[in-house]
Structure 1
Amino acid sequence: MNIEMERVLIVDDHSLVRDGMRSLLEISFPDCEILEAGALTEAVDALSRGDEVDMVLLDLNIPDVTRFSGLTELRDHFPSVPVVMVSGQLDRITVREALAAGAAGFVPKSLKRNEIVDALRQVLEGEIYIPEFLGEEDDASREAAQTLARIDTLTPQQTVVLRHLVNGKLNKQIAYELNVSMTTVKAHVSAILQKLHAYSRTHAVILANRAGFN
């Protein structure tokens, strides 16, 4: 059963683009309330009013942001809201940087309408959407981008613990370094495994190393 979207915020300075996205959303999610903003400041105002949204669709290039500064600001102030980057710019570096900065997905404007809807549904279901243009031959880059995006969801303390794991520290050593109990360290490790979709601490370390985390 598909998860339905109840409220979404479109952030794009081009009214024609917003109209096109609105039309797509109205057809695919008929009961969804659609909010619009032409600039990041307008988006922040809308979210600050307490309008809970299922996701934000953020254009990469809007006048009052520089590259990923808009994404970073939204993630800092509204960490529970998934932010999907929507852009006509399409290259591996941009996609990877967006996901590493905390984007819940990167949707190229060149995608077909049904592909955009599928991408948004993946995000609604808690997945991170990565465009297929990366290709099967670039599976390692896709996995690394996903891992970096998941690492970005860790708390500061969990990130520190992951760094210790990567450096080969045992739980008791980590507990000593951080001056916390073994129980606390184990709780952090369990949370890390869950967030990284890792089945063991060794697997988590392998994923982190492949992604270039240090």
Structure 2
Amino acid sequence: MKSAIKVLLAEDHTIVRNGIIALLDDEPNIKIVADAKNGHEVLDYLNSGIQTDVVLTDINMPDMNGIELISNLRTNFPDVKICVLTMLDDEKHVNQSLDAGASGYLLKNVNIAEIIFAIKQITLGYKYICTGISLKLLSQINLRINTGSAHLKSDVEVSKREIEILGLIAQGYTNSEIAEKLFTSKRTIEGNRQNLLEKTGTKNTAALVNFVVRNRIID
């Protein structure tokens, strides 16, 4: 039998922390091994010998915040995956978290199913950015394009149509549904999607959005 994914939770608000624990306790494939109020407590647990696969952490915490924790973990516990769970939905904190070494970024308004999915994805070695963040960032990119203020900052060329397709993918639409919305064929959408993955060297949609954000392809 496959062992459960071990998770160490860092969240300074007791009610929120207990709520997350209660929700994740119902998931048989995930085990909360410890919970902490700040980054220092996370490091104390790990230094004491507690083993974890994933650290699920807030950003705004006292003494040692999430960004500082992520950097410390990347240096001292490089095998531990990190997923941010926060209320902060601005591009600056998303970039800071990913640049520091986080593999996932979730907003606290996501449902428990998405938290579980993200934990499983990053454990497998993928990146995951929640739909809410993806849509907001893509909307900002679209706005820049539509107002004529967009310019490429990378050798990767992403067209307005490709950004439009990426936005629909992020909303969960299938290739067939996207084709119907854009009045084109499913095969065309499949081709566009594959081209985006090949252009950016990414493996899936979450990694593709992550690439766009981190490399600031559109400014």
Q: Is the TM value for this pair above 0.5?
A: yes
Contiguous gaps of at least 5 residues in structure 1: 145-195, 200-206
Distance 2:216 2:61 in 1: 30
Measured against aligned partners, the alpha-carbon deviations of 1:158-198 in whole angstroms (never above 9, x if no partner) come to: xxxxxxxxxxxxxxxxxxxxxxxxxxxxxxxxxxxxxx957
Could you say which residue in structure 1 is the equivalent of 2:135?
Answer: 135
Contiguous gaps of at least 5 residues in structure 2: 142-152, 154-199, 204-210
Could you say which residue in structure 2 is the equivalent of 1:117?
Answer: 116
RMSD (CA atoms): 3.2
Could you say which residue in structure 2 is the equivalent of 1:65?
Answer: 64
Q: Which residue identity is paired with 1:107? A: L
Distance 1:5 1:64 in 2: 31
Distance 1:93 1:33 in 2: 29
Could you say which residue in structure 2 is the equivalent of 1:8?
Answer: 7
Distance 1:114 1:74 in 2: 26
Change (3 A) 1:106 1:31: closer
- How far did residue 33 of structure 1 move? 4.2
| Moved beyond 6 Å, runs of 4+ | none
The answer to whether the 8 A contact 1:5-1:124 is kept is: no
Distance 2:38 2:21 in 1: 16
Could you say which residue in structure 1 is the equivalent of 2:166?
Answer: none
Q: Which residue identity is paired with 1:138? A: L
Alignment of 1:46-85 (within 5 A): 46-66=45-65, 68-85=67-84
TM-score (norm: length of structure 2): 0.59
Change (3 A) 1:84 1:45: same
1:41 aligns with 2:40: yes
- How far did residue 110 of structure 1 move? 0.8
Change (3 A) 1:51 1:90: same
Distance 2:113 2:30 in 1: 18
Distance 1:24 1:35 in 2: 15
- How far did residue 140 of structure 1 move? 11
- How far did residue 5 of structure 1 move? 3.2
- How far did residue 67 of structure 1 move? 6.0
Q: Which residue identity is paired with 2:25? A: E
Change (3 A) 1:132 1:66: same
- How far did residue 212 of structure 1 move? 6.2
Q: Which residue identity is paired with 2:37? A: G
Aligned residue pairs total 151
Alignment of 1:123-202 (within 5 A): 123-133=122-132, 134-135=134-135, 138=138, 197=201
Could you say which residue in structure 1 is the equivalent of 2:107?
Answer: 108
